[in-house]
Amino acid sequence: MSTPKKKKRITFIEARITSTLSVSLVLFILGIMALLGILANNLSIYVRENIGFSIVLKESVQENNVAQLQTVLAHAEYVKAAQYISKEEALKEIMRELGENPEEIIGVNPMQASIEVRLKADYTHPDSIANIEAKLRKYNYIEDIYFQKDLIQSVNDNMRTIGFILFALAMVLMVISYVLISNTIRLTAYSRRFIIYTMKLVGATPGFIRRPFILSNILSGIIAAVIAIILLTCCMSYIVNEFDNFYTLISTRMMLIVYGIVLLLGILLTAISSFFAVNRYIGMKRDDLYYV
């Protein structure tokens, strides 16, 4: 006599495991999208902060003027890093590139002292660059300022396009994920639709009926999120081991943000799906339950 109950219990457990694994795979894909979004943002910041400009100083510039300009740049909110390059250092650099000493040919050092400046990512937009350039040109010992404006504009445009594509993909995946999770949870609610009807007959309120289903599925969502987080961690560990410089784009804080997003989505998607799935059967009449 106990065999049918045991078989039914095993079937329910298997359905719950299948449901949890299905949700975990969906959350894993959403986690990958969140990770790609944050990585794209970090890559954008890294690229923009490694594109700077050169301040070429006049031949007549005094040491105190150089020191003054270095102090101004060190305290400027838009500067990531600034490095002074003397005429001698510039000559050594050009010698390494050309393989010969131009001073021996010309008779004098043709290079000029300069300051190489790298901007913070927030100040690499055209308006900010124009404003920075206008401020610096007020110093009469600056001969010229060379910005890689075309390169900066190209990077900004490309990153904006990538960001838009990732956002669009994330929205599409969110809709698909909700539908998949909703269908999975709806199957669970479908298998217990007569229990829902019985609870309604004995006077249980809709909130009381929904509560155990929502809590149960939230627990499954948390378990699914943990599984997805483990998969993400393994995936990232593999990538970091395979690509030496990849770790520079990843931080513990970034991974914690992704884990938090996955966990939050696991809770929210399962809770919302459970709410609507159970509501569907709460409002049904007994005869309709046989034909859904």
**Mean pLDDT of the 122-149 span:** 84
CB 189 within 8 A of CB 279: no
> Is the pLDDT at 258 greater than 80, yes or no?
yes
> Is the pLDDT at 4 greater than 70, yes or no?
no
Return the pLDDT at 263: 92
* Stated pTM of the model: 0.68
Instruction: Fill in the DSSP letter of residue 58.
Output: P
CB 186 within 8 A of CB 15: no
User: How many Å apart are CA 19 and CA 281, to the nearest integer?
Assistant: 19
Return the pLDDT at 2: 47
Share of the chain above pLDDT 90, in %: 5
**Mean pLDDT of the 189-196 span:** 74
Of the candidate CATH numbers 3.10.350.10, 3.40.50.80, 3.30.70.3040, 3.30.430.20, the domain formed by 52-147 belongs to 3.30.70.3040
Annotated domain spans of the chain: 2-46+155-290, 52-147
Which of the listed ranges 36-40, 45-49, 50-54, 130-134 does the model predict with the highest average pLDDT?
130-134
> Is the pLDDT at 5 greater than 60, yes or no?
no
The whole-chain average pLDDT of the chain stands at 79
Instruction: Fill in the DSSP letter of residue 61.
Output: -
**Mean pLDDT of the 204-221 span:** 83
> Is the pLDDT at 148 greater than 60, yes or no?
yes
Least confident of 11-25, 192-206, 248-262: 11-25
> Is the pLDDT at 145 greater than 80, yes or no?
yes
CB 206 within 8 A of CB 279: yes
Return the pLDDT at 288: 62
> Is the pLDDT at 260 greater than 60, yes or no?
yes
Which of the listed ranges 9-13, 116-120, 277-281 does the model predict with the highest average pLDDT?
116-120
User: How many Å apart are CA 164 and CA 159, to the nearest integer?
Assistant: 9
Share of the chain above pLDDT 70, in %: 87
Return the pLDDT at 157: 81
Q: Band of the pLDDT at 10, cuts 50, 70, 90? A: very low
User: How many Å apart are CA 256 and CA 261, to the nearest integer?
Assistant: 9
Q: Band of the pLDDT at 1, cuts 50, 70, 90? A: very low
Return the pLDDT at 104: 67
Residues 6 or more apart whose CB falls under 8 angstroms from that of 271 comprise: 214, 217, 218, 221
